[in-house]
C-alpha cells in the first residue's frame, strides 16, 4: 500500500497486529518519511497522540509535511529511539499504547549517493544517519587496527571472510586513504576474489561489509537494545510493541527480548513466527523481501509502585545476538 507516494513495509501486517485505535498514544520510534505514521494517525484520530522520532533531519521534514493535517496531538523530535525515555519525559507522557520501530533505511537514504550507504552509486564513505555524529565509515576503515576491523566486519556483518577483507583494506590504506563507496566495494571484491558482475543473481561481495560499517557508525544494535530495555516501562497494560527488522542480528535481539519479557510475565507474544511480506509486496517492493515483523503485548503484571516493569532496568546492557 502506498501512503503519500511512499510505500511503507508490511503496512497491512503492522496495522493488523499493532492495531492502533482511536484516542491512543502511539510512538513511531523511526518515523522516516511518515508512511507508517500516516496510517497510525488515521487510526487514532483527533483524540489520539502521535510521537515520532528520527535522527535524520530530512526525514523529519518529510514526515512533518505528510502529517500536517493530523487533527490530534503531534510531537516530532530529532533523536534516536534509544532516547525514548527522555523524549516521553519532556512530553509529559508516562504510558503509551503503541511503540513501533522500522529498523530499515528508507529509499531516499539508500538512493542518495552522498550519504554513502550503498555501493550502487559512488559517493563519500559516510553512512551516518545522523549528520551530527563525528565518526564516519571512512574513519573506521582507515583508523581501526586490522584485528578490530576484522572483528567489526565479522560480528556486525556476519562476513566469514572478514580477516581477509580487513587485511586487504589495511594494505591499501597504507598508500591512500579509502574515502569512496566504489573504492571500498572494489577492494572487498578483490579481497574475496569475486567479480560482482559474474554474480548478478547473488549478493554483492561487499554487502556484509557495508552493513557492518553502517551498524557500527550508527550504533544500531546498541540503540535497539536500549529501546527494547525501556519499552516495558512505558507500555500500559494491553499496549503493543512492534519491530520490523531486516537482518538476523536485529531479529534475534527482538525475539530474545520478547521471550525474556514473556518469562518475566511482562509480555505475551502476538506473532508466534515473524511476519514477512506477501509475494505481491515482495514483487512491488523488492527491498521488503527481508523484512520481519514481531509484535508483543504488554500484560498487566510486573508493574511496581513507580510504574516500571521488573525487567526495565535490567536489560540495558548489550546482549549477544
* 147 and 270 fall within a common domain: no
CATH number at residue 206: 1.10.150.170
Residue 302 has pLDDT above 90, yes or no: no
The alpha carbon of residue 37 and the mean position of all alpha carbons in its chain are separated, in whole angstroms, by 15
Residue 319 lies in a domain: no
* 227 and 100 fall within a common domain: yes
| Better-scored residue on pLDDT, 313 or 168 | 168
Three-state secondary structure string covering 37-75? HHHHHHHHCCCCEEEEEECCHHHHHHHHHHCCCCCCEEE
* 154 and 224 fall within a common domain: no
Burial class (CB in 10 A: 0-12, 13-18, 19+), 201: exposed
Residue 131 lies in a domain: yes
| Better-scored residue on pLDDT, 106 or 299 | 299
* 103 and 119 fall within a common domain: no
* 98 and 127 fall within a common domain: no
* 225 and 102 fall within a common domain: yes
Residue 4 has pLDDT above 50, yes or no: no
Q: Is the pTM of this model over 0.85?
A: yes
Q: 299 CB contacts (<8 Å, ≥6 apart)?
A: 237, 265, 266, 267, 268
pLDDT band at 303; cut points 50, 70, 90: low
Which of 198, 217, 236 is the last residue in one of the domains?
217
| Better-scored residue on pLDDT, 314 or 274 | 274
Residue 315 has pLDDT above 70, yes or no: no
Residue 255 lies in a domain: yes
CATH number at residue 73: 3.40.50.150
Q: Could you tell me how many residues make up the chain?
A: 321
CB 319 within 8 A of CB 313: no
Residue 306 lies in a domain: no
Average pLDDT value for residue range 135-145: 98
The 10s digit of each residue's pLDDT in 201-260 is 478 999 999 999 999 999 999 999 999 999 999 999 999 999 999 999 999 999 999 999
User: β-strand 49-54 against 73-78: which pairing, if any?
Assistant: parallel
Which of 217, 240, 275 is the last residue in one of the domains?
217
The 10s digit of each residue's pLDDT in 61-109 is 999 999 999 999 999 999 999 999 999 999 999 999 999 999 998 878 8
Burial class (CB in 10 A: 0-12, 13-18, 19+), 205: buried
Residue 320 lies in a domain: no
Which of 217, 232, 252 is the last residue in one of the domains?
217
pLDDT value at residue 6: 55
| Better-scored residue on pLDDT, 301 or 68 | 68
Q: Is the dihedral of CA 147, 149, 153, 159 positive or negative?
A: negative
- Count of structural domains within the chain: 2
Residue 81 lies in a domain: yes
* 244 and 97 fall within a common domain: yes
Residue 318 has pLDDT above 70, yes or no: no
Residue 49 has pLDDT above 70, yes or no: yes
**Which residues span the domain enclosing 200?**
114-217
The 10s digit of each residue's pLDDT in 258-286 is 999 999 999 999 999 999 999 999 999 98
Mean predicted lDDT score pLDDT of the chain: 90
DSSP symbols for 155-188: HHH--TTHHHHHHHHHHHHTTS---BHHHHHHHH
Residue 313 lies in a domain: no
C-alpha span between 305 and 144 (Å, rounded): 47
* 254 and 239 fall within a common domain: yes
The 10s digit of each residue's pLDDT in 120-131 is 899 999 999 999
* 159 and 204 fall within a common domain: yes
Amino acid at each position: 500500500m502506498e501512503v503519500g507516494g511512499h510505500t511503507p513495509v508490511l503496512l497491512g501486517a503492522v496495522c493488523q497486529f499493532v492495531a492502533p485505535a482511536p484516542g491512543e498514544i502511539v510512538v513511531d520510534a523511526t518515523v522516516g518519511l511518515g508512511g507508517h505514521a500516516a496510517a497510525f494517525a488515521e487510526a487514532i484520530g483527533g483524540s489520539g497522540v502521535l510521537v515520532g522520532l528520527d535522527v535524520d533531519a530530512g526525514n523529519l521534514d518529510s514526515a512533518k509535511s505528510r502529517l500536517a493535517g493530523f487533527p490530534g496531538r503531534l510531537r516530532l523530535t530529532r533523536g534516536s529511539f534509544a532516547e525514548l525515555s527522555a523524549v516521553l519525559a519532556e512530553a509529559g507522557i508516562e504510558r503509551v499504547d503503541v511503540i513501533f520501530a522500522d529498523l530499515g533505511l528508507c529509499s531516499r537514504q539508500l538512493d542518495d549517493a552522498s550519504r554513502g550507504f550503498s555501493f550502487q552509486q559512488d559517493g563519500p564513505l559516510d553512512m551516518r544517519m545522523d549528520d551530527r555524529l563525528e565518526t564516519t565509515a571512512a574513519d573506521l576503515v582507515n583508523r581501526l587496527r586490522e584485528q578490530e576491523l576484522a572483528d567489526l566486519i565479522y560480528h556486525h556483518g556476519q562476513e566469514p571472510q572478514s580477516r581477509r577483507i580487513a587485511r586487504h583494506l589495511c594494505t591499501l590504506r597504507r598508500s591512500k586513504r579509502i574515502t569512496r563507496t566504489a573504492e571500498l566495494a572494489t577492494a572487498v571484491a578483490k579481497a574475496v576474489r569475486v567479480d560482482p558482475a559474474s554474480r548478478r543473481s547473488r549478493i554483492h561481495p561487499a554487502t556484509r561489509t557495508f552493513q557492518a560499517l553502517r551498524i557500527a557508525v550508527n550504533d544500531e544494535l546498541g540503540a535497539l537494545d536500549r529501546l527494547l530495555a525501556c519499552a516495558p516501562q512505558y507500555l500500559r497494560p494491553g499496549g503493543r510493541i512492534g519491530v520490523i527488522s531486516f537482518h538476523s542480528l536485529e531479529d534475534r535481539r527482538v525475539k530474545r527480548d520478547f521471550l525474556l519479557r514473556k518469562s518475566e510475565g511482562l509480555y505475551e507474544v502476538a506473532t508466534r513466527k515473524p511476519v514477512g511480506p506477501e509475494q505481491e509486496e515482495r514483487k512491488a517492493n523488492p527491498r521488503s523481501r527481508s523484512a520481519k515483523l514481531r509484535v508483543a503485548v504488554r500484560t498487566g503484571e510486573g508493574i511496581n509502585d513507580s510504574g516500571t516493569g521488573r525487567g526495565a532496568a535490567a536489560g540495558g546492557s548489550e546482549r549477544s545476538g
